[in-house]
Amino acid sequence: MELGEKLKQSRNNKGFSQTNVADHLNISRQSISKWENGNTYPDLDNLVKLSNYYEVSIDELLKENQELKMKIEANELEIEEKYHKLNFIHSVSEKDEGLLLLVLAFMGSLIPPIGLIMAPVIIKRNKKTNTLYKLIYFACVCCILINIYALYFTVGNYLGWGTTTVEIVD
């Protein structure tokens, strides 16, 4: 006989309704129904309260219930397996890109037009979970300033800005 059947039989022997038991335990009637149908199992605290309320020992409720023990062990193993999978997913998805982004920011400062495009992309890609995220912001700002400075002088030299010719008139 399963735990749910034993709970239902004990409740009926005492003449209680599911609502009476639920009110006594301060839980919903649906929980009692799920326990008695075998969909879920009561926790240890509620099991102790039920045994006192029904005046039946916990041993009588759980005795010869190897299936319940097997289900609990299987659930614990499944929970542990899913916990490990979840940790693996978090470790893979939360890769630290800090060093890579920092190197890209420094490389972007060497090539003027590309650095102006790369720096905003790097800033957007940077996350607080990266180990060097503040240094990456600083490197990107420096990269933008260096690129603007280099482009100004490159364009200035090409267009002849800032060069004047002086003729001495006699």
pLDDT tens per residue, range 47-80? 889 889 888 888 777 776 566 678 888 889 999 9
Residue 117 predicted with pLDDT over 90: yes
Q: For residue 169, what is the DSSP state?
A: -
Do 2 and 41 form a contact (C-beta atoms < 8 A)? no
- Span 125-145, pLDDT tens digits: 888 877 788 999 999 999 999
CA 75, chain centre distance (Å): 22
pTM of the predicted protein model:
0.43
Task: Return mean pLDDT, the chain.
Answer: 86
Question: What is 3-89's CATH number?
Answer: 1.10.260.40
Query: What are the residue boundaries of the structural domains of the chain, listed by start?
Result: 3-89, 98-159
Do 104 and 132 form a contact (C-beta atoms < 8 A)? no
Residue 99 predicted with pLDDT over 60: yes
DSSP H helices in 58-111: 58-62, 66-93, 98-108
Burial 29-48 (b: 16+ CB within 10 A, else e): eebbeebbebeebbeeebbe
